[in-house]
Structure 1
Amino acid sequence: MDAYAQAVAHHRAGRGPQSIAAARQAVVEAPDDPLAHNLLGVCLTSTPPTAEGIQVLRAAVARWPNHEHLVTNLALALQSAGEQGEAWRYLRHLLVLNPASALACDRLGFLCNTWRGDREQAARLSDRAARLSPQDEGIRINQSLAWAPHDLDRTILALDAATIVNPQNTYPYVQRAGALLRRGRWQAALHPLRRALKLDPTNDDAIKHALRCQRYHAASQSAAAQGPGPGDGLLLRGPFSTASGYAHMGRRYIQTLRRQQVPLQVIGVFGHETWADEPLEAPVGAKAAINIMVPLAVEPIPGLATILYSMFEGPRISRTWAKQSLAADMVIVPTESSRVAWASQGYPEDRIRVCPLGVDAEPAAADAPPLTLVDGHGRRVDSYRHRFLNVSDAIPRKNLDGVLRVWLRATNRDDDAVLILKPGKGGTEAARRHLQNIVRQTQDHVGRAFTDAAPIVLIDQPLSEAEMTGLFRTANHYFSLSHGEGWDLPLSKAGAMGMGLIAPAHSSYLDYLDERFARLIPCTTGPAHLPYSTEPWEPFFGLDWWNPDETVAAGIISDIIAGRDKGLPDASAHLLGNFTWDQAARKLRRILADAGLLRQGDRS
C-alpha cells in the first residue's frame, strides 16, 4: 500500500498522527499531484484546523486555482477557523467552478445569514442548495435558519423536510416548536416537543420550550378568568439571567415593580428562572405580556396583548425587524431615536410609546472601593490626573477602533492621562481577537504606535457588580465614540456617579444629555461597515449608523489633558433627578393603564 492509500486509510479510521505522517510522505512521493497536497491539508485541518493545514491548502490552491477539491477544503477549513471573509471569497470561486455545488450554495447561504446579515440572499442560496441536494439534512436545517428571521412558514416547511430525511434527529423538532411559539401557537408546539422528548428525554431546549408552553397556558387561563377589562398584574418575558443590557433592564423593572406592589409573572427566555425572595412564575391575571427583547424573539401568548419593549441603535430598523414587530400590539421604546427607527420602517406610529429607562449609580454596591489598577510600567492608575474610562462590548458598533484612533492622535506618552478600556463582559476569545486586530490595524492606519501615546489599561476579565462600581470609581471621565445606542447603560451610570461625560450627539444620548451636561461630538451618518473594511456588519446589513467626528473628539481629549477645558459638566443631578427606575416603572404603568391593560389602583 502506497503512502497516499495509507494516509486515506488512517484518516478514515480517525488515526490523526498516522494519517498526517503518511500524507507528508505522499507529498514527498508525488510533489506535483494536487490530490496529495489536498489530502495533507485535510489531515492537518481535521478537528481542529491548524494554521499549517490551512497554509498547505492555500499554497496548493495558488498552484492549482481551479481544482475543485482543493478550493472546497480550503474554504471549509477557513470557515472552521473563523476566517469568514476568506472562506466567503473561496466559496464564491467554488460556485464559479461548479455552479451545481450544493455545498458552495449551502455554505454561502449560511455565511450570508450569520456573517453578512443579507437574509434575502441567504434564503435564495439556501433554497438553491436544497434543490440541488434535497435529501441533505444539514442543508435543510440551514435552509430553515435562513428563512427564520422573516418567514416562519417557510422555516417550518424546511424543518419538516429535515425530519423526513432523518426522523431520529431531535433538533428539527425542537426548532419547529420554537417557530410555532414565535407564531403564538403553543398548543401546536407541543406535538414536535413530544416527539423530541420521546427521542431524548434529557433534551434541554425541548424541556425549556415545554415549560414555557405550560406557563403560557396558565397565563392564558388566568387572563380569561379575569373577564373583560384591565388586568391585575403584568407578565414580563426576557433574558433575565444573562449579562446583557436587556437582562439588566428586565431585572431593574422586576425589582422596581415589586417595590411598587405590582403583581408579576416572570418567564425567562432560557428556561426556569429562580428568584430569591418569592416565586414569580405564578399567573397574576395579566392582560399584557411585555417582551423585553429584540423583535425576533417575541412569543405571543393567546389572550394577552403582545407588548414589545425594545430599542435600536441606528436611524431605522431592518425590514426583518419591522415585519416581526407587526406581531406586537404595541411597541415601547426608551428614546425618541428608537421611536423614529420603528416609524421610519412603517410600524404604525399610533402604536409606539416612549418610556425612558432608569440610570444606575449602583446603590447595591455603594460601598465598593475603587479598583487598584496599574499600567504597563507599574504606575498606579489612580495617580494619573485624567483617567478616561470606556466600557464597551468588543463589537463594531461600539467603535473601539475609533476610540483607539482618537487616543493615538490626541495623547502623548508623557501626558498625565490614562485610558481604562473594559471590553464588555471580557474574557472571550472573540473579543480578544477583535481587539488584537483593531490595535494592529489602528497603528497602521494612524501611522503611530501605541507606545507613543498615553497608556491604555485593558481590563480583560469579568467583574462582579461591586467590582464594576469600583472600576467606575477609578476613573473621572467617561468617553464613548459609539456608532449608536439604544440606551447606553455604562455611560448613564458613569454620569449618575458624577464622572465627566464625552459622548456623540446622536441616538439615545440626545434624550438624556445636552451641552449643559456633557461634551458632545458632532456626527454624520453612513453605511455600517466592519472596522477598516467595506464589508457590512451583520446586524446592520443594508443600514446606516452614526459616525462621530474624530477630529473634534481628539480636540476634546487634548483640551482636557492640557487644562484648556477646566472641568466637564456634572450630569449626576440631572440624570438621577429625571431618569430613575421608579419613574420608568410609573411611566410604564401609565402607558399600559391608558391602553386598558393594567388596573392602576392606589399602588405606591
Structure 2
Amino acid sequence: MSDLDPAIALYEAGRPAEAAVKCLALLETGSRDADTLNLLGVSLFATGNGDAAVGPLEEAVRIAPAHFAARSNLALLRQQRGDWALAETQFGTLAVLDPAFRLTQDRLGAMRQELGDLDGALRALTRAVRLDPVSGLAWFNLASVRMLAGLFEEAMAGFRHAIAEDPSGVLAHIQLGEMLLRLGRVGEASGIFRRALRLDPASTGAGNGLARCGRYRTMTAAAGMPTGGVAIRGPFESATGYGHFCQRIIRTLQGRTSHAGQRVPLEVIGINGPEVWPGGALDRPVPARAVVNCLIPLAVEPVPGRATVTFSMFEATRIPPAWRRMSESSDLIVVPTESSRRAWAEQGFPEERLRVCPLGVDPVQPGGVPVLAVPGGRLVSSYRHRFLNVSDFNARKNIDGLLRVWLRATAPTDQAVLILKLGRSLGPAARARLGALVRGAEQAVGRRLAEAAPVVLVDRLLTDEEMTGLHRAATHYWSLSHGEGWDLPMTRAGAMGLGLIAPAHSAYLDYLDEGSARLIPSSVGPARVPGESGFYPPFHGLDWWVPDEEAATAILTGIIRGGDRLPSARDRLLERFTWERSADRLLAILDEAGLR
C-alpha cells in the first residue's frame, strides 16, 4: 500500500476535501511527486476551488511532462476556465503523447466548437472517429458539428452511424429526425421521431418533431388550394429579438387585406410545432405558396410543395460559411437592412435571391416610469442627463467599450447617470464576467468606476410595459455595439423622442443619419472577445465594426457639459418604419416572386 492510497480512497469515496488534506500532508513531508500533485489538483477542483487547482497540476506537468492524467486534467481545467490557448497547447501535447487516445480528439473538438472554430472541430472529431469507428458518442459529436457547419447530408450520415453503434440513443434519433426535416424529408423524419418515442415516450424533442411533421404534411396536402395566403414559422412565444419581430409581423398581417379588399389568409407555426398563436385561430392550413421562416438559417425546415423564405439578419460584415451553406435551401432570403443584404452577398450568396424588408418601430404605449436610484440613494429622475443602454450580455454589444467611454467622459459631479439593462437575468458566472469587464475598463482608463458618474444596473426580465417605462426614465439612448441586425430598443427609444447616440455602421445607417442622431465613426476589425486574442464564437474568422471611443467620449462630454441638444429621430422613425409598412413590403416581396 502506497502513501497515496488513503487519499485516493477518500477521493473515490466522494470526499475530495479530505483527499486534498491528505495530499497536502504528503507534500509537506517533502514528497512532491506528480501523482500526489495531480490528485491534489483534481480534489481541489472537485471542491469548487479551480483557482487553487491550477498550481498543483502545472507543477505535476513540470515534474513529469509525460504524466498523461495530470496533463489531461490541466487541459480540462484550462478549458473550463476559458484559458483557450493554454488548453489547446495541453490537448496538442496529449495528442503527441498518445496519438491513439480518442478522448483527446473529442475534447479538442469540443473546445474548438465552443470557440466557434467549426473547421478545427471537424478535423479533431474526424480523427476521433477514425481512432474509434465503433464509438456511437464519437459519431454523434462529429455529426453535431457537421450540423452546425451546415453540412446536413454529412451530419445525417453521422447520426445514422451513431444510432448503428448505439441503437438506444434517443438524442441521436431526434437529431437525425431534425436533419431530415431540414432537408424537407418529412415522411422519413416522422418515422425516426416515432422510433425515438418508442425508446422514450416522454421525449419532448421527439414529440415536438412529430408535431411539426404532422403540420408539414397537412400544409403539403393544402398546397394545391387557390393561393393568396401567408404561412409564417417563428419563435413567437420567446422573449427574443426574433420572437418580437415575428409577433409584430403576425399581428400586423392579421389586419391586412388584399387588393380586392379581402382579408389575407394567415397560418402560424411555432418553432417547436405544438404552439398555438394566442391572438386567434391562425393554425389552420391556408392557401400559401411559401413558408416565411422568421429564423436563423440553421432552424429553417422546408415544407414539401411550398417555397422556403428565410427572414433573418446578421451583425457582421459577412455571414459565416455555414450560414451560406444553410441558406441554399431558401428560395429567398429576406433581411431588414442593406447591411445584412451585403453580409449575404459578401459570402457569395446570389444577390437575385436577396430582398430587403425593414422592420417596424413599436408604437408608443402608455407606461409608468420606474423608480430607480443610484448607489447612495439619489433618484435617477433627479439627473438632467439619463443615458440608457439595453443589451444582451455578450461581446458583440461592446459593454467593455461602453464602460471605458463612460469612465473617460464623466465625473461624479456631472448631472449624468447611465442605466444599463443587461440580459434577462445575470447569474453568478455572468456577474463575475461583468466584474472582470469593469476591472479591465478601469485598468485601461486609469480611473475607478467610483470616479465617474453613477451606473445603475438592471438585470431582470422586463415585460413590454416595463421596458417602455425604462425608456421613459431616460433622456438619451446610447449604443456602442459592434454590429446590429436592427436594434429594437434603439428604434423604440427614437420613437419615444429620446436623443440617440449610435455607431455609424450596420443597421443604424438604414434608419438614422446625422440629422436624426449623433453618429460615432467606426472602422472594421476582427470580431475579438474582450481581453482575449480569440474570436467571439458566433463570428469566428469574421469582421465586425469597432466604434471610435474617443469620438464617443467627445459626444458624451458635449452633451453633459456642453449642452449639446440632440436632433430628434421620432418623426423619421414613425413615418418611415411602421409595422404596417413592414408587413406590406413582405407581402409585396412574396407577390413579386410569385410566392403568394
Question: What TM-score does the superposition give when structure 1 sets the normalisation length?
Answer: 0.93
* Distance apart, 1:21 and its partner CA: 5.4
Structure 2: distance between partners of 1:404 and 1:60? 40
| 1:421-471 per-position Cα deviation (integer Å, ceiling 9, x unaligned) | 111323344532332221111111122211111111111222222211111
The correspondence for 1:262, drawn from 261, 264, 271, is 264
Shift in alpha-carbon separation, 1:491–1:263, aligned structure 2, 3 A: same
* Distance apart, 1:2 and its partner CA: 4.9
Which residue of structure 2 lines up, in the alignment, with residue 330 of structure 1?
Answer: 332
SS at match of 2:222: helix
SS at match of 2:4: helix
Tell me whether 1:436 sits opposite 2:435 in the alignment.
yes
| 1:153-192 per-position Cα deviation (integer Å, ceiling 9, x unaligned) | 2212222222222222211111111111111111111222
Which residue of structure 2 lines up, in the alignment, with residue 581 of structure 1?
Answer: 579
Structure 1: distance between partners of 2:416 and 2:62? 49
Kept in 1: contact 2:475–2:498 (CA 8 A):
yes
Which residue of structure 2 lines up, in the alignment, with residue 294 of structure 1?
Answer: 296
Kept in 2: contact 1:427–1:462 (CA 8 A):
no
More displaced stretch, 2-11 vs 567-576: 2-11
Which aligned pairs between 1:359-398 and structure 2 lie closer than 5 A? 359-363=361-365, 366=366, 368-398=367-397
Which aligned pairs between 1:178-189 and structure 2 lie closer than 5 A? 178-189=178-189
Which residue of structure 1 lines up, in the alignment, with residue 36 of structure 2?
Answer: 36
| 1:116-154 per-position Cα deviation (integer Å, ceiling 9, x unaligned) | x12112111110111122233332221112211221122
Tell me whether 1:572 sits opposite 2:574 in the alignment.
no
Structure 2: distance between partners of 1:553 and 1:543? 24
The correspondence for 1:273, drawn from 266, 272, 275, is 275
Structure 2: distance between partners of 1:562 and 1:81? 42
Structure 2: distance between partners of 1:164 and 1:29? 53
Which residue of structure 1 lines up, in the alignment, with residue 91 of structure 2?
Answer: 91
Shift in alpha-carbon separation, 1:59–1:460, aligned structure 2, 3 A: farther
- The letter of the residue matching 2:232 is L
* Distance apart, 1:362 and its partner CA: 4.7
* Distance apart, 1:3 and its partner CA: 5.3
| 1:218-274 per-position Cα deviation (integer Å, ceiling 9, x unaligned) | 1111113x16xxx23221111222221111110111111112243222222234223
Which aligned pairs between 1:118-157 and structure 2 lie closer than 5 A? 118-148=117-147, 149-157=149-157
Structure 1: distance between partners of 2:432 and 2:307? 43
Kept in 1: contact 2:215–2:273 (CA 8 A):
no
Shift in alpha-carbon separation, 1:131–1:591, aligned structure 2, 3 A: same
The correspondence for 2:242, drawn from 243, 246, 257, is 246
Kept in 2: contact 1:390–1:479 (CA 8 A):
yes
Tell me whether 1:284 sits opposite 2:282 in the alignment.
no
- The letter of the residue matching 1:493 is R
- The letter of the residue matching 2:464 is E
Which residue of structure 2 lines up, in the alignment, with residue 602 of structure 1?
Answer: none
Which residue of structure 2 lines up, in the alignment, with residue 102 of structure 1?
Answer: 102
Which residue of structure 2 lines up, in the alignment, with residue 531 of structure 1?
Answer: 530
More displaced stretch, 13-22 vs 246-255: 13-22
Structure 1: distance between partners of 2:9 and 2:162? 31
- The letter of the residue matching 1:354 is V
Structure 1: distance between partners of 2:49 and 2:273? 34
SS at match of 2:352: helix
Which aligned pairs between 1:186-225 and structure 2 lie closer than 5 A? 186-224=186-224
Kept in 2: contact 1:373–1:382 (CA 8 A):
yes
* Distance apart, 1:42 and its partner CA: 2.6
- The letter of the residue matching 1:342 is W
| 1:517-538 per-position Cα deviation (integer Å, ceiling 9, x unaligned) | 0001111111111112221111
Shift in alpha-carbon separation, 1:31–1:135, aligned structure 2, 3 A: farther
Structure 1: distance between partners of 2:569 and 2:309? 32
Kept in 2: contact 1:394–1:424 (CA 8 A):
yes
Unmatched segments (≥5 aa) in structure 1: 599-604
Shift in alpha-carbon separation, 1:96–1:466, aligned structure 2, 3 A: same
Kept in 1: contact 2:314–2:343 (CA 8 A):
yes
Which residue of structure 2 lines up, in the alignment, with residue 601 of structure 1?
Answer: none
Tell me whether 1:459 sits opposite 2:458 in the alignment.
yes
Kept in 2: contact 1:49–1:80 (CA 8 A):
no
- The letter of the residue matching 1:222 is A
SS at match of 1:525: strand
Structure 1: distance between partners of 2:300 and 2:432? 32
More displaced stretch, 461-470 vs 492-501: 461-470
Which residue of structure 2 lines up, in the alignment, with residue 158 of structure 1?
Answer: 158
* Distance apart, 1:277 and its partner CA: 3.6
Structure 1: distance between partners of 2:474 and 2:465? 15
Cα RMSD of the aligned pairs, angstroms, is 2.1
Shift in alpha-carbon separation, 1:186–1:451, aligned structure 2, 3 A: same
Structure 2: distance between partners of 1:484 and 1:113? 23
Q: Percent identity?
A: 46
Structure 2: distance between partners of 1:48 and 1:213? 44
Structure 2: distance between partners of 1:94 and 1:71? 7
Structure 2: distance between partners of 1:445 and 1:63? 37
More displaced stretch, 88-97 vs 327-336: 88-97
Kept in 2: contact 1:482–1:504 (CA 8 A):
yes
Kept in 2: contact 1:405–1:446 (CA 8 A):
yes
Structure 1: distance between partners of 2:474 and 2:454? 14
- The letter of the residue matching 1:240 is F
Which aligned pairs between 1:488-567 and structure 2 lie closer than 5 A? 488-565=487-564, 567=565
Tell me whether 1:233 sits opposite 2:202 in the alignment.
no
Shift in alpha-carbon separation, 1:24–1:200, aligned structure 2, 3 A: farther
Unmatched segments (≥5 aa) in structure 2: 257-262
Kept in 2: contact 1:361–1:494 (CA 8 A):
no
Structure 2: distance between partners of 1:349 and 1:492? 27
